[in-house]
Structure 1
Amino acid sequence: MTPHTNTNTPAYNAETDPVLKFSQLDVNFKTEFGRVHAVKGLDLQVMPGEVVALVGESGSGKSVTATTALGLLPKTARIGGQTLVADKIINELSERGLRSVRGNRVAMVFQEPMTALNPVIRIGEQLTEAMEVHGIAHGREAWDRAVGLLEAVGIPAARRRAREFPHELSGGMRQRVVIAMALACDPEVIIADEPTTALDVTVQADILDLLRSLKDQLNTGILLITHNMGVVADMADRVAVMFKGEIVERGTVEEVLLNPQHPYTRRLLDAVPHLGAGHGQFGTSPLPVAADAGMALEVKDLVVEYKREGKKPFRAVDGVSIDVRRGEIVGLVGESGSGKSTIGRALLGLIPSTSGEVRVLGTDALSVRGKGGNELRKRIGVIFQDPAASLNPRLPVGDVIAEPMSVHKVARGKEREKKVLDLLEAVQLPRSAYNRYPHELSGGQRQRVSIARALSLQPDLLIADEPTSALDVSVQASVLEMLIGLQREFGFACLFISHDLAVIDSLAHRVVVMQYGKVVERGNRDQVLMNPQEEYTKRLLAAAPVPNPIEQKRRRDERHALLASLGDEIVTLDTRELSM
């Protein structure tokens, strides 16, 4: 790494001095309701070649802290204390000085690569732009270096990919491009803000391997911002736990994750689902399925195709058969693009099926029409992944929950109001939420509203599509505990769609694994998750991180051995391509 010098500040030693340092950082935001104190006197530093994880839930101040290092906070922010990137004091730099630091001395890897990449500019051009702005390389030299960067981060056919647009790449490929952009100007420190939250477990494992080799081979400091304790266990050297703008605990990854001292840290770790722990992780377990339980859902040879102009139809679901008995929770797992959510939408009639048979509670769901269709829909509840997108923002919560009752003409007036209030109590929301609007609630509260609405007609079958993936771990834990409790109380059958294997382990009776639109393995929860038979299932399970650094290192070594036995390469940084 090329050392930077600055004659206006004390000599900076790139080997022994912190590459990122916050001293008594204090951030206030001016709002219409007064000032909000987001960060309160924070002290933190990152050394060369070190990964420091800053963990905490949404609203704890993690991202505000990181954004301070790039000088990107809005004008409404009042910043106290000092932020240093190598030998640069960020607070004292002009806008021109900040532009010279961003990308060149400190780079950022964002959570969602599609928001970090320009959708109308080719990948290669986005990489060369940073190099040309900072005078690293120009013209053909910059283009060749861009291709080298793509090859370094493990993107195959890099010269062709450099001429493609972001939408032509998978999510994992796009995140690798963002990492390549972060490396373009050889920064001393990289801030990774939830870099794997939007990725499947196998892609996440690849990105973590890449980041780990980056810090090992280039001696780059990394500030990792996340609420995923499995990622922390896999990546971090040191951990700082943030709560309401303050660091409440810090130490090595082993000290913090294996022997937490602060009640908030213990609460966070207790809320993390652990693959292999099985039922009862959240204080309650689903009831066993009765031996004589009838079928709530029967899917036979389902095919769903999407038509493409001038091309052969794309088969998203290819001859899938699934069944769910009354009172049973079946986990449907697989990576993005495996067809799980397509099945959920097809079962709800939101997209047409090409062929196959779907029977819900003994009724042919694909052919039923009119009054019979309405009666069947009354018996099916649905919970979507993003509550903000599935709740009508113009209706108060009481009307949102009552809407299915209104559509199906169930209960009226005071009786309907009482049912809504009872549902609010069942999902552990205060009665005062009745007249509030969705935007006035937190993400976890909105998902509780979604669950209350799904249960408003007391369905016999619930379809839940990634209902907790957008939530913080402690909120996720409380929602899952509540969902299991409601399932015990109401006895509904549930098809639970998820890519989080630890969540499935905590609540499912049986598991169905999908890949490329087909079922590759199925069986009882412990049979599939503890003793997988299929190669794809083994890959999924090996890639799922656990919140114990010692156990996670063992799992990582076992995953690398599995990949080697299957002839797959481990994704690491190819520094030969960076030396071009």
Structure 2
Amino acid sequence: MTQPILSYQDIKVRFATEFGEIDAVKGVSFDLHPGEVVAVVGESGSGKSVTSSTAMGLLADNAAVEGTVLLDGKDVTAMSASQLRKLRGNDISMVFQEPMTALNPVLKVSTQMVEVLEIHGKAYGTDALRRSIELLEQVGIPDPEKRIHEYPHQFSGGQRQRIVIAMAIACGPKVIIADEPTTALDVTVQAEILDLLRRLKDELNTGIVLITHNMGVVADMADRVVVMFHGEVVEHGTAEEILTRPQHPYTQRLLDAMPHLGEHAVEVREQEIPAAIEPEYALQGKDLALAYRFRGKSIRVVEGVNFGVQPGEILGLVGESGSGKSTVAKAVLGLLEVEEGELLVRGQDLPQLPRKQRKALRREIGVVFQDPAASLDPRFPIGDIITEPMVIHKVGTAQERIRRAEELLEAVKLPTSVINRYPHELSGGQRQRISIARALSLSPSILIADEPTSALDVSVQARVLEMFAELQEQFSFACLFVTHDLAVVDQLADQILVMQNGRVVEQGTKDQILRAPREDYTRRLLAAAPVPNPVTQAERRAARLRLLADQGRLPG
């Protein structure tokens, strides 16, 4: 093995706060070699992002660092601000989780990429522009000569992440720190970004520190794994050792919490009611066409969608970003007009009802959004947040509402003592439980869940999904569950509807869609979902590339 390109030696990081000192990292040590991927895994608050930030000198002013970080033999912790500026981009660069926070929305991509090269003295003017176009081509942006002059919002999420990666490799760094680089991406786009990072690592012999909580991504990318818990390294070894023979109880818990695609086989039950009898649907869409209005023009984004959800049933709505799945959910919530077709809530066509009846019928629909921090009002205590729907619909007295809030807190497994606390005082998983409690406050017959666990750590996600299944059994609501995580759908859903470009590609029972897909698009979605086993994942990656080749979809 070559000399390490990056070495953490007994790193400790403390933050001085008004409540005293907080030990965020407690003596972390590990090495990274050229052309190697080391995955640093753990949940929120484990110290993995703080550890990685020490290598770039990006910690806040109230941080005190002990120990040594050696980058190509140079001690980063002893460098001045000007030395660190020269280091960043040249020797070490970073790929952030959300590309839109890393790109300036008011500057063209050409301006931002040329700036990187000029600041570091790599190229200037037309030479810098030419080099930027080459970089975009290298990371797989189509028609780079034209597209480089566009703004970030004109690219898809996956393309934006490719641009961030192009900027990260512009100066030929020895180390790339990838901080959750695929968390915000669809499963197929995630697979493409991981393929790209793997190829660039081999071509440039760059070392990659991969920060993630997704064990499937670890299995797909990592050579070695560092597991962190409460600021300490609790386990360290090869990807195969950690993922197939974990020794520490925390690592075992992380792996047990991962939903595994294909584990939840369903018994196919015989239909008890005669086929001639029309099933009773809580929610039904018939030839739905949905459109956004912009400057007087109608832009149709969903066409010819048919579905039905019976009481006590979960319909998983899956597809990539832009497929129309969240648009369908918005229409059910009344946030988008139905241009054609019928949207039936308990047999009544919601868009055609008079306003008063429509408002009354909306009491039947609860909603859980993706990001609990954004969907809970930070000014309200938890009790007011849960009872607000009851206040709006004039349900019960003040005392009855508080009693109902306490019942719901118990149902979502939170102590009733949180009723007077505020959202910022709770963890992400607890906030999402509050969102679910609020959604159930009016005892809805229908629940819309739009990516309700994608912002959560894997173990928190597991607890929320388990609780969600229990609540669904208890309250027997019909549920429209929007997600791009096929393993989550496998765990929860009864029926699945696959969408692409605003149309239904395939629909059927969970077993039909996940075990015997008929359509090429569904097969690509399933092939792109990583599993937390390096050997199995290597086989799945090879099978995915064969599938793409057979379908003529391999990148040029």
Structure 2-normalised TM-score?
0.97
Task: Say whether the 8 Å CA contact 1:331–1:510 is kept in structure 2.
Answer: yes
445, 454, 460: which one pairs with 1:475?
A: 460
The answer to whether 1:277 aligns with 2:263 is: yes
CA distance in 1, matches of 2:377, 2:294: 32
Deviations 1:233-263 (A, max 9, x none): 0000000100000010111001000011111
Percent of matched pairs sharing the same residue: 60
| 1:156 correspondence with 2:142 | yes
Question: What is the CA-CA distance between 1:279 and the residue it aligns to?
Answer: 6.0
Deviating more after overlay: 103-112 vs 312-321: 312-321
Distance 1:279 1:325 in 2: 21
The residue matched to 2:90 in structure 1 has which SS?
Answer: coil
**Matching residue of 1:131:** 117
Matching residue of 2:415: 430
Rounded Cα–Cα distance in structure 1 between residues aligned with 2:360 and 2:272? 26
Match for residue 121 of structure 1 among 102, 107, 124? 107
Residue 517 of structure 2 corresponds to: 532
Contiguous gaps of at least 5 residues in structure 2: none
Distance 1:66 1:378 in 2: 47
Task: Give 2:245's aligned residue.
Answer: 259
CA contact (8 A) 1:289 1:327 kept: no
Q: 1:520 to 1:366 in 2, by over 3 A?
A: same
Q: Secondary structure at the match of 1:24?
A: strand
Matched, 1:396 2:373: no
Listed one character per residue, the Cα deviations across residues 145-182 of structure 1 (whole Å, up to 9, x for unaligned) are 11101101111111111111111111111111111111
Residue among 387, 403, 426 paired with 1:441: 426
Q: Which amino acid aligns with 2:383?
A: G
1:304-315 aligned within 5 A: 304-309=290-295, 313-315=298-300
Paired with 1:225 and 1:85, the residues of 2 have a C-alpha distance of 18
Structure 1 residues 459 and 525 mapped into 2: Cα distance closer, same or farther (>3 Å)?
Answer: same
Deviation at 1:380, TM superposition (A): 1.2
Q: Is the CA contact 2:548–2:554 (under 8 Å) kept in the aligned structure 1?
A: yes
Distance 2:376 2:420 in 1: 14
Contact 1:25 1:41 in 2 (8 A): yes
Provide closer, same or farther for how the CA distance between residues 279 and 471 of structure 1 changes in structure 2, counting only shifts above 3 A.
Answer: farther
Q: Which residue of 2 aligns with 1:105?
A: 91
Q: Is 1:180 matched up with 2:155?
A: no
In the alignment, which residue of structure 1 is the partner of 2:437?
452
1:566 to 1:27, Cα distance in 2 relative to 1, 3 A: same
- Does 1:192 pair with 2:178? yes
Amino acid at match of 1:166: P
**Kept after mapping to 1: 8 A contact 2:49/2:179:** yes
The SS at the match of 1:275 is coil
SS state of the match for residue 65, structure 2? strand
Q: Is the alpha carbon distance of 1:219 and 1:290 closer, same or farther for their aligned partners in structure 2, counting shifts above 3 Å?
A: farther
- Segments of structure 1 that go 5 or more residues without pairing to the other structure are 1-14, 572-580
Any runs of at least 4 consecutive aligned residues in structure 1 with deviations exceeding 4 A, and if so which?
Answer: 287-293
Any conservation in 1 of the 2:42–2:228 contact (CA below 8 Å)?
A: yes
Q: Is the deviation greater in 118-127 or in 68-77? A: 118-127
1:61 aligns with 2:47: yes
The CA deviation string for residues 276-311 of structure 1, in whole angstroms up to 9 with x for no partner, is 11169xxxx9x999858621111011111123448x
Q: Do residues 94 (structure 1) and 91 (structure 2) align?
A: no
Following superposition of structure 1 onto structure 2, how do residues 147-546 of structure 1 map, counting pairs within 5 Å?
Answer: 147-278=133-264, 291=273, 294-309=280-295, 313-546=298-531
Q: How many residues align?
A: 552
Residue identity in the other structure for 1:294? E
Partner of 1:43: 29
The answer to which of 210-219 and 474-483 deviates more is: 210-219
Alignment match, 1:146: 132
Which residue identity lines up with residue 449 of structure 2 in the other structure?
A
Give 1:437 deviation, angstroms: 0.6
Q: d(CA) in 2 for partners of 1:296 and 1:201?
A: 30
In 2: Cα distance, 1:34 partner to 1:501 partner: 43
SS at match of 2:342: strand
Q: Look up the equivalent residue of 2:229 and give its one-letter code.
A: F
Q: CA deviation at 1:35?
A: 1.0
Is the 1:317–1:339 contact (alpha carbons within 8 Å) kept by the matching residues of 2? Answer: yes
Q: TM-score w.r.t. structure 1 length?
A: 0.93
| Deviation at residue 371 of structure 1 after TM alignment | 3.5
Distance (whole Å) between structure 1 residues aligned to residue 358 and residue 67 of structure 2: 63
**Is residue 2:69 matched to residue 1:83?**
yes
Q: Equivalent residue for 1:70?
A: 56
Equivalent in the alignment of 1:3: none
RMSD: 1.8
CA drift at 1:314: 2.3
Distance 1:18 1:288, change over 3 A: farther
The yes-or-no answer on 1:565 pairing with 2:550 is yes
* CA–CA distance in structure 1, aligned partners of residues 352 and 272 of structure 2: 30
